[in-house]
Amino acid sequence: MHDGANGERTAVTRETTLDALRSTLARAADRSRTPTLVADRRGRVLFANDAVRRFSPSQSTGPIDLGGQTLASALGLDIAQTRVIRSLLRIGETGSLPIQVEGDEPGVRNAIATLSPAYTADGDLAFFVVQVIDVSALRDAETALKREVARLNWERWHLHRALHRVTAAHAQAVRDAKLDALTGLVCRSAFREAFTAAMAQPRPEDQVLALLVIDVDNFKTVNDSFGHPAGDRVLRAVADVIDSSIRSTDIAARYGGDEFAVMVAVDTPFEAARVAERIASGVRKIVFDGHAVSVSVGYDFAAPSETDLDVVIERADAALYRAKRAGRDQIQAS
């Protein structure tokens, strides 16, 4: 008799505890701005707060009434999602799953439904609290971010291409500024810069810098008789001979008009004379419209202590003029 009475009191106490817990959960849900549902252990909805209206158009007016509906029905879950909810209800664990809900604006919204068990003070599983978090704004921001990253990558690629073109154009401009467009040899200003820099550098005691000044003989006659295009072809042919007659460490330039200049590092004056002879000999093999081509060469040396290129050029020019006066097709040292 006493056992029956105790059992009734225990059942009443348990029911009172559950009612109190359910009321507590309902009050907490009511204060939340997040759509929240309270369900029993079988997944039947017992309470839904006012925020649920945001994804339940049928509850847009009047009291929220989802009582008796299952969570699957209230949340509009598909079969696979329903299985997940049932598994969480069965084992009494926290879990979440992505869902799509209708919003207060046209179209569906992406959301995350989080299910959390609620226990009594005695540790008994009593209810489940489900909160629906709208992540559409986050997904939209993520999509917008991906588009922006793609746009920036596209712009970066085009900027990289533009930079490459500018860099290539700059490099070409530098090359063009240092090279003679007609012959491909170094231009006057670049030659002077290179020779002056070489004069400033320390050199072995037995090495000197030789400057060869080369002038095409009777070039004005070629231009006057055959025209400037023919004269250009002669200049290119002479430039090819000069370039093939020196080492890669030497520098040849078109110094102006039909005049060329060569910087050669030599150990003895005889080496400079040999280079001059190779050039003169090679030019003699050029035949233009039945006419032989020749050059006159004057050369001089930059002393180790010299720093003024113009002084060296004056001496080499003086030797060149002597070669001209000697009948052309001559080589003269200063």
Whether the Cβ atoms of residue 275 and residue 208 lie closer than 8 Å to each other: no
pLDDT at 103: 58
Contact 61/47 with Cβ under 8 angstroms?
A: no
| Contact predicate 127/39, CB 8 Å | yes
For the ranges 148-157, 249-258, 271-280, the lowest mean pLDDT is seen at 148-157
Q: Which structure tokens are listed for 298?
A: 């004057």
* 175, two tokens: 């090359």
As a whole number of angstroms, the distance between CA 209 and CA 126 comes to: 101
Which of these is catalytic: 180, 258, 300, 329? Answer: 258
Q: Which residues of 155-313 form beta strands (DSSP E)? A: 208-216, 251-256, 259-266, 287-288, 291-292, 295-302
Write out pLDDT tens, residues 53-106. 776 655 555 455 666 788 888 888 888 888 888 888 888 888 888 887 765 555
Q: What is the pLDDT of residue 38?
A: 87
Does residue 258 have an active-site annotation? yes
Beta carbons of 40 and 21 less than 8 angstroms apart:
no
Enter the pTM of the model.
Answer: 0.51
**From 3.40.190.170, 3.40.120.10, 3.30.450.20, 3.10.450.50, which CATH number describes the 2-134 domain?**
3.30.450.20
The residue with tokens 């540790």 is: 123
Q: For residue range 218-238, what is the model confidence (pLDDT) as tens digits?
A: 998 888 888 888 899 999 999
Topology classification of domain 188-333: Alpha-Beta Plaits (3.30.70)
Strands 295-302 and 331-333: parallel
Which residue in 300, 304, 119, 282 sits closest to 207, CA to CA?
Answer: 304
